[in-house]
Amino acid sequence: MDIVAHVRVRPDSPPPAPGRVTGSGGEDVRLLLAIAGGRDRAAFAALFGRFAPRLKAWFQRTGTPPAQAEDLAQETMLAVWRKAELFDPGRAGAATWIFTIARNQRIDAARRDALRVFDGDDPSLTPPEPTPPDDAFVAVEQDRRVRAALTALTPEQAEVVRLSFFEDRPHGEIERVLGIPLGTVKSRLRLAMRRLRAQLETPNKAATGDSH
Amino acid sequence: MNTPPPSPGHPPPGHHPAEDALLRHAAGTLPAGHALVVATHLRFCPSCRDGVRTGETTGGAILEDMAPADLSPGALDRAMARLDTAAVAAHAAPPVRFQGVALPAALGALLAPRWRWTGPGVRRIVLNPPGAARAERVWLLRVEPGRALPSHGHTGWEAACVLSGGFTDRTGHYERGDVAETDESARHRPIASRDEPCICLIAWMGPLTPRGVLPRLFQQLNGM
Ligand SMILES: [Zn+2]
């Protein structure tokens, strides 16, 4: 995968060509804000064109059959429309925010009769305070940094990180795909997370996450 | 990043979920009970909130890099047709305020606790978070000051978050907001601190392996 793409920051950048989303974090933020502020249907159509096919691909990759994967992509995009006011570009990039909605859709789908206990109640989805204007494009910078941080991982670390987003059930899947023991998977993931956190979080906050 | 300040009057937790658990929480692939333990810890811990956000940012980058799948014909039109009728976002259940911290709504039993006798000095409330596997158990546990749980081992993982009071076992001392994670091989005998009852959220997978006659009886009585 291409994780070294440059991310545009200018909110007035020209409409992106169809196809790759990579590099258009600022444009995605603008589209989400247009939906939040003005119920902008054209902005929704543009965002749908860029994300729905990738959402379907991700749901399929996690083991969801194609028809249900497309339904979940539709539901995710409708949730994006409904919840756009909750999007806070000072806290999360557009793709990150859409990912968290898709993740919660998948969790809900996996829970028959699910009460929506985690969705919305999740502190990462609900801004605790208004974002200062200066922070408005912090998330775009964060997107650029996560891509740089991913390239700094060893290929083995990058692979376990990637596979952990493709699992169709907790545990076991990575072991099966890579043929390595669970203990090795866990230690690789821990090292990878520490490196990502060291690059993405302020130094005094990172590297405090070990429990034992 | 902006995060709510830690609860007033309490230092941030000293024991955290392992880094791979934070990443799996961000990816949405932790078992339901373990996810609830981590979600509860996040209410106490700004550092782990940052860690989960790092995981979610990674998920965003992975989503962006997916090769697009073909949608069925008319997919956009069908979505557009639903925009006007799209229901207002379902109102999420409000968080549960417990001793000054907003905890996940799934811990609602804390608001009107109906503890059941489980053993000497030990009471419990069984929770059933949606999506929990058949072999997964999720309990609120209340242990009177200075009381111990029977010594036991695990056939699967265990994860606990302290909500009030504290406990000690051979792996360390745990207080409010702290997480203790245990894997299959570990055997332990947690003892509640002496000053106040210890209330914990605890989730585990698979039957426990008690040692001794009394612990075994304890297990049989309680379906552990
Ligand atoms: Zn923590």
Question: Could you give all domains of chain A from N- to C-terminal order, each with its CATH number?
Answer: 1-15+22-135 (1.10.1740.10), 153-212 (1.10.10)
The whole-angstrom separation of Cα B161 and Cα B44 is 10
Establish if B6 touches chain A: CB-CB under 8 angstroms. no
- The pTM score is 0.83
**Domain spans in chain B, listed from the N-terminal domain onward:** 14-224
Is B54 in contact with A201 (Cβ distance < 8 A)?
yes
Q: Pairing mode, if any, of strands B122-127 and B136-143?
A: antiparallel
Closest Cβ–Cβ partner in B27, B104, B180 for A164: B27
Find residues 57-116 of chain B whose CB sits inside 8 Å of chain A. 57-72, 75-76, 78-80, 82-83, 86-93, 95, 104-106
Extract long-range pairs of B9-14: CB within 8 Å, 24+ residues apart: B9/B100, B10/B44, B10/B176, B10/B177, B12/B44, B12/B45, B12/B46, B12/B47, B12/B177, B13/B41, B13/B44, B13/B45, B13/B175, B13/B176, B13/B177, B13/B178, B13/B179, B14/B175, B14/B178
pLDDT digits (tens, 9 = 90+) for A107-152: 888 774 344 334 444 444 333 444 444 454 566 677 778 888 888 8
Tokens describing residue B197: 């009852």
Interface test with B, best of A70, A118, A126, A137 (most B CBs within 10 A): A118
Query: What's the CA dihedral at B170, B189, B47, A100 to 10 degrees?
Result: 140
Residue numbers in A near B49 (CB within 8 A): 123-124
pLDDT exceeds 60 at position B141:
yes
pLDDT digits (tens, 9 = 90+) for A142-199: 777 888 888 889 999 999 999 999 876 555 667 777 888 888 888 999 999 999 998 8
Q: Which residue has the tokens 């809900």?
A: A108
State chain B's mean pLDDT as an integer: 87
Shortest distance between the Cα of A102 and any Cα of chain B, in A, equals 10
Class of domain B14-224: mainly beta
